[in-house]
Amino acid sequence: MGDKPIWEQIGSSFVQHYYQLFDADRTQLGAIYIDASCLTWEGQQFQGKAAIVEKLTSLPFQKIQHSITAQDHQPTPDSCILSMVVGQLKVN
């Protein structure tokens, strides 16, 4: 990974960590979100750590596995990283 730009390294590491948590125990995702975080899930919007974790933990499937087929990470002018992830979901 050393030959990739730092934003790609950070983005890839974050995506791996996020989806490992999502697949293993969605309740642990609360550590990633803050009260200013926003989530849109199938057209519904959720704001804040508590609302997002409540939504993610109330999803109707018990087990899920993410299979990432592509990811792209770009730096933003305000020193953030914008990530796009494409893949497949396998549930129950």
| Whole-angstrom distance, CA of residue 80 vs CA of residue 6 | 12
For the chain, domains (ranges, CATH) are: 4-89 (3.10.450.50)
Strands 38-41 and 44-47: antiparallel
Amino acid at 23: D
Residue range 24-77, pLDDT digits in tens: 999 999 999 999 999 999 999 999 999 999 999 999 988 999 999 999 999 999
How many angstroms from the chain centroid is the CA of residue 91? 17
Q: Which of 63, 70, 65 is nearest to 87 (CA)?
A: 70
Read off the pTM.
0.86
What is the share, in percent, of the chain residues with pLDDT greater than 70? 98
| Whole-angstrom distance, CA of residue 78 vs CA of residue 46 | 24
